[in-house]
């Protein structure tokens, strides 16, 4: 049986756009989750406790700051 000719060669395709899309998706998911967590915390403390808006705002800012420190890019990894 004759083999089919193909232009595809395993490992030779340029994947720059796929890698860029993956990093964009991961970044948007990471920072969007932090934003939503801080917003949810602010609204929960503001409306569901007697602490009020200022306590909710302070808590949301602290969580956002800690989240930023934990989630920021640490530079290029070795792999």
Q: What is the pTM of this model?
A: 0.75
Residue 15 domain flag:
no
Q: pLDDT per residue over 42-54, tens digit each?
A: 999 999 999 999 9
* Structural domains of the chain, count: 1
Distance CA 32, CA 71 (A): 11
pLDDT in tens, 18-37: 999 999 999 999 999 999 99
Domain around 51:
33-71
Residue 44 forms part of a structural domain: yes
Domain assignment present for 57 = yes
Residue 28 lies in a domain: no
Domain assignment of residue 45, yes or no: yes
């Amino acid at each position: 049986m004759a083999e089919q000719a193909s232009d595809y060669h395993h490992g030779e395709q340029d994947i720059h756009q796929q890698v860029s899309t993956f990093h964009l998706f991961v970044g948007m998911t990471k920072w969007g989750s932090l934003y939503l967590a801080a917003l949810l915390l602010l609204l929960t403390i503001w409306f569901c406790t007697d602490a009020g808006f200022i306590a909710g705002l302070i808590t949301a800012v602290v969580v956002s700051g800690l989240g930023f420190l934990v989630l920021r890019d640490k530079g290029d990894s070795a792999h």
